[in-house]
Structures are given as C-alpha cells and as structure tokens.
Chain A
Amino acid sequence: GAVVSQHPSWVICKSGTSVKIECRSLDFQATTMFWYRQFPKQSLMLMATSNEGSKATYEQGVEKDKFLINHASLTLSTLTVTSAHPEDSSFYICSATVPGLAKNIQYFGAGTRLSVL
C-alpha cells in the first residue's frame, strides 16, 4: 500500500515557540493531504485540507494563523504550530489521498505527539 511518512514522531517545545511537522507521500504524488488532531481516547478531528499549490481549506473553528499549512510540492505538506501553548499539546496526524483507482482511500502517517511545556 501507499506510504505516508510523518516527522517528527514526538516533539517537545517551550511555550511561545513554533513547531513544524512534515508529512510526505513516499511512493505517490498527493495533490490533497489532510491534517487531523486527536485528543486522548477521542476521535480524529479534521483541521484542514491541504491542496498542492493553493491555500489550505480550514475547518470551522481552526485558527488559520495558529496552524499554518503549506503544500508546496506533490509529496510534501507541512503544518506549523505558531507560538505554541500548552493547550496545543495533542497528537497530530496527516493523511493523503492516493490518486487513480484508489482515490477514495486515505492513507495515514504515524502521527506526531506535540508536548508544549
């Protein structure tokens, strides 16, 4: 199956700093990637849809200036948490849609645990 790589797997940062999370499609080109946030023992909450070469589409209630998404190439999307605070601590997951016949399937990265001190 398709492989989506997410880096880093765990990051600890100080309050007020910015953190960048990378999501790469390793063996396919992904025109669309998705970013989710997951709190412990809860479901995945979609934050935004990332489209290559255009601005991301954010879900209602997600701060665009807080969570910057860049999808500059067909294999890379990044999520930057700006001026992180303890309440931003969470598990962030990206996914990508495989083009072609399997275009309805999303494959997920392994996730990034963000801890803001």
Chain B
Amino acid sequence: AQTVTQSQPEMSVQEAETVTLSCTYDTSESDYYLFWYKQPPSRQMILVIRQEAYKQQNATENRFSVNFQKAAKSFSLKISDSQLGDAAMYFCAYRSASGGGATNKLIFGTGTLLAVQP
C-alpha cells in the first residue's frame, strides 16, 4: 500500500522569504501523480501544484515549485516570496495512475501547518 509522510507538523516563514515543505512517499508503482493541496482557514481544499511521475522536469506554478526526486521518493514544495495569504495547512498527496487514474483515490499526508509572519 502507498503511504505519504509529511514530517513537519508546523513551519513558519517571514513574509517575502522562501520556505520548503517536505514530503516523502512510498510506492512500488512507476506511474503516479503527486499533488500539493492548500487548505486555508476556510477549509476549502485548493490545488497548488501537481507532478506527473513520468516527467523529470519539476513542476512550477508562479511562486510555487517542487523538487521531485523519484528515486528518493521525495516531493518537496518550495514557496518563494511568501505572502500572508499563503498561511494554511498544506497537504501532500499521491494518486496512482493505474487504470487511467480517474477513479483512483488520493492518499494524503498528515499535513504541514504554515504560518507566515509579517
């Protein structure tokens, strides 16, 4: 069975600084997807960034980028130029690509609560 581990329950960053959130996962599959979701105090889950395992290039979305190390099964999220609105719980998630992927469930880590200091 696949597992996702986030070893940092809480992190803090100064506004405008950079922070990296860690995520490791365990799987025997070769084809899968990885995601970072953000859950602000409103509790609405928001997709931050996604990575296809078959792509070597790290995904980027504006101030958000990932460091995907497939051999090490590591998938960290870097937030540059942190803003107050980035304060939220961040979840790393894994999804198998087997069978097309559409019906496959997301496996979540335990989350990292990010605080942004003004």
Contacts and interface: CB of A to CB of B under 8 A. Distances in A.
Interface in B84-107: 91, 95, 97, 100-103, 105-106
B95 A95 contact: no
* Chain B interface residue bracket vs A: 20 to 34
A97 B44 contact: no
B16 interface: no
Contacts of A34: 105-106
Given A34-B105, A43-B91, A108 B45 contact: yes
Interface stretch (A16-24, A75-83, A98-106): A98-106
Contacts of A99: 102
Contact of B102 (A1, A38, A104, A110): A104
Interface of A: 1, 31-32, 34, 38, 41-44, 46, 49, 51, 91, 93, 95, 97, 99, 103-108, 110-111
Interface of B: 33, 35, 37, 42-47, 50, 52, 91, 95, 97, 100-103, 105-106, 108-111, 113
